[in-house]
Structure 1
């Protein structure tokens, strides 16, 4: 594995209680420490503007096209297509067959091609497929479109996480990943507002049902977003200079990432070695297990409008009152990720949100009081979404190199984690309304499992850091330290 030459260093003096502490800091070219700080601040600001803002926008459309079937159900999709509960649940679940199967191959391909070309192409294709849902007239057509949509969407999320982990240091990833993933809560909240307007205002327009207009509008919007992505998304730092970076900024982008990973340059490595390392690393499977628990606890999302409908309001009010829940989830998720950045903690910031999620589930399934159940829905959203962002950031710091291994782990974690959306589609049958007791118990159980597994991984990484410190003290050679 290639390493960065960090022989040139500069001294950095700090005072702690009157005592001088000297740190040896790697030096970039001929810049002083202050000049390096200024350059880094400018560079990170540019990356934030071009990469994170673009991914945030694109993720909104990603979630809209994936989950608008829940809003379309309230608009009559299930009735118009003569779908039983089981057929509807299968239509929800089948999308994830293609979505999951495409994850690992797509992320490996992404390490070999230009993301600024590959991802926009996928976005335009899935937008077109989503739009075509407006033309289906039976369960067979709906299932076919949903399967194709899953394959078309598979490159985006894991590819976005790989891009983020390739441009930012591990300590910087949590809030960036959180901001992007907050597009999920924004999409669900905005999707409720948009659906309320479309289903109420366009139903019957030009002879089309409102839910068909919903797919037309959102699918067309996604295709436009895909064209914009071609102009906004960068490639990997080492795959050619980005047009919005100077030559010095490009070199510094590569250099600072290598410094953060114990002087190891972020190279692709061989596909065979990357796959082997990913599948044989026990940390991979702990991360996978945490993600499975977390996303299972979050599988209420695709039935949320139906769950809220049990509060007794009409369709328009139901869609509108889903919005505050997702807005609350947006702010708690972002806040938890900022805590992850400032504290460099991971396990505890996964454990407490999942505990809150359990409390929310218990409130929803045990009470018949509208206020209590509605507050419980806020806690469910805040808990499951706040933990998710930290898990994604934890992957990058736990699997720093090589890019192929990291790409495989990201895909594997999300592949197996998102399998929850297949079996989770059957947790909320209509006959369980209004309490959805069995679904709530299952989701709470998985959330509890996530708490335990996060604690196990955190303690293990802490122990590995302790051993690294002891080895470093013996031979003086720096060791990589995990965030736990």
Structure 2
């Protein structure tokens, strides 16, 4: 194979050093960037409990629409963005996206009407859409099959901890800056977090890696080894000139969407991310358990800390038994379905709070299991086809948040039977889908198609 002949792909000391170097550059960078991404998309929930609704006259239905229009913008832009990414330098493209969405996030502080907020949320979705699918593709082009679950978990842990500490940060900002210079606390929340995102975007180009064959942060020998590692697992990588024939954007798109396996992965992921909308309502749900104001925001922290404590060891286990990732996902989703059903039937404050912890844990644990399973399953595909496929999976998952966002209207408070009952059903369906995929993909896996 061109550029990799004679390179050993056994787990040598040289490879271990290479993996440590890749981790050192890649994982902290994307972790920090995802923290900003997650805070900027979900701080609307913190702004809601800090008084935004009453200040601009936002109704319950209009709040749901702010979540929906973000997802619509996100879904529209994801696939085109990953098409561009597969042929550009991630170390330049991702910071550009970040600069754009950070600016929009900060400008949300200026909204005065629900219509303005809806417009800004749609724009935020479009600007931020390329980030998550870009990271999914980058991880799939740097790590082998048995290395991906814990890396996806490391990436997504930023969302978990952002959800946890985002509540603390939001509470601190809205408490300490409310009324400063005549500006409401929730407006300061958008300003501070948006400006911080722009600052991080300016630093990101100096930290991010490009692709194994093109990055300038590795030596020629390390680039050869990085490519050989992937080829040992049958994973294609961008930039391998002479190894992978170029295909047009349209051909790659058709190859992706015409594969029935992709749509099975999409349906499974939609059941998980449809329930992901719970993150937008955690402050509201916790407030319904008897907490208020900043206290409600602080009490969301344990929901995410428990999720982190459960998700990390589960993903480490998944990398030790990579062939059984969908089995682990099935078990996790069934447990999540059970806790949703219990929450729909038990209304005492303490049990409900405990159940919320485990529902969040099931969603956050199933997410990296599903992504790593999709990534390794798609490994043999042409890089651009894989990039489009991962964007489709992520996009369809975000599309599912549209209906997930309507499951917790204020009129259902404090029981929210519709929401928890629907989530119980969704997670059960997800368990069935991943069970089917486990059997089907063993018999008929993804295959390279040039």
Give the alignment's TM-score, normalised by structure 2: 0.94
Separation of aligned partners in 2, 1:352 and 1:171 = 20
Separation of aligned partners in 2, 1:221 and 1:118 = 19
Which one of 393, 411, 423 corresponds to residue 443 of structure 1? 423
Separation of aligned partners in 2, 1:273 and 1:160 = 23
Report if aligned partners of 1:131, 1:220 keep a CA contact under 8 Å in 2: yes
Quickly say closer, same or farther: Cα 1:68–1:241, change in 2 above 3 A.
closer
Question: Following TM superposition, by how much is the alpha carbon of 1:135 offset from its aligned partner in structure 2, in angstroms?
Answer: 0.7
Question: Following TM superposition, by how much is the alpha carbon of 1:399 offset from its aligned partner in structure 2, in angstroms?
Answer: 1.0
Please say which of residues 374-383 and 358-367 is displaced more in the overlay. 358-367
Question: Following TM superposition, by how much is the alpha carbon of 1:259 offset from its aligned partner in structure 2, in angstroms?
Answer: 1.7
Deviations 1:216-249 (A, max 9, x none): 11001111111121111111112x2422x12211
Q: Could you tell me which residue of structure 1 aligns to residue 246 of structure 2?
A: 269
Question: Following TM superposition, by how much is the alpha carbon of 1:268 offset from its aligned partner in structure 2, in angstroms?
Answer: 7.0
Separation of aligned partners in 2, 1:196 and 1:267 = 51
Q: Could you tell me which residue of structure 2 aligns to residue 299 of structure 1?
A: 277
Instruction: Please list every run of 5 or more consecutive structure 2 residues that lacks an aligned counterpart in the other structure.
Output: none
Q: Could you tell me which residue of structure 1 aligns to residue 320 of structure 2?
A: 342
Question: Following TM superposition, by how much is the alpha carbon of 1:39 offset from its aligned partner in structure 2, in angstroms?
Answer: 1.1
Question: Following TM superposition, by how much is the alpha carbon of 1:158 offset from its aligned partner in structure 2, in angstroms?
Answer: 0.2
Question: Following TM superposition, by how much is the alpha carbon of 1:331 offset from its aligned partner in structure 2, in angstroms?
Answer: 2.1
What does 1:72-83 correspond to in 2, within 5 Å?
A: 72-83=47-58
Q: Could you tell me which residue of structure 1 aligns to residue 26 of structure 2?
A: 51
Deviations 1:381-411 (A, max 9, x none): 1101100101111112111121011101101
Which of these two proteins has the greater Rg computed from alpha carbons? Answer: 1
Task: Give the number of the structure with larger relative contact order, counting CA–CA contacts within 8 Å between residues 6 or more apart.
Answer: 2
Deviations 1:402-437 (A, max 9, x none): 101110110111111111222222111001011100
What does 1:315-330 correspond to in 2, within 5 Å?
A: 315-330=293-308
Separation of aligned partners in 2, 1:63 and 1:234 = 21
Q: Could you tell me which residue of structure 1 aligns to residue 355 of structure 2?
A: 376
Separation of aligned partners in 1, 2:341 and 2:268 = 21
Report if aligned partners of 2:274, 2:402 keep a CA contact under 8 Å in 1: no
Which one of 41, 66, 73 corresponds to residue 91 of structure 1? 66
Q: Could you tell me which residue of structure 2 aligns to residue 353 of structure 1?
A: 332
CA RMSD for the aligned pairs?
Answer: 2.0
Report if aligned partners of 2:336, 2:427 keep a CA contact under 8 Å in 1: yes
Please state whether the residue corresponding to 1:251 is helix, strand or coil.
helix
Separation of aligned partners in 2, 1:336 and 1:390 = 9
Quickly say closer, same or farther: Cα 1:205–1:267, change in 2 above 3 A.
farther
Please state whether the residue corresponding to 2:333 is helix, strand or coil.
helix
Which one of 216, 228, 234 corresponds to residue 242 of structure 1? 216
Give the alignment's TM-score, normalised by structure 1: 0.88
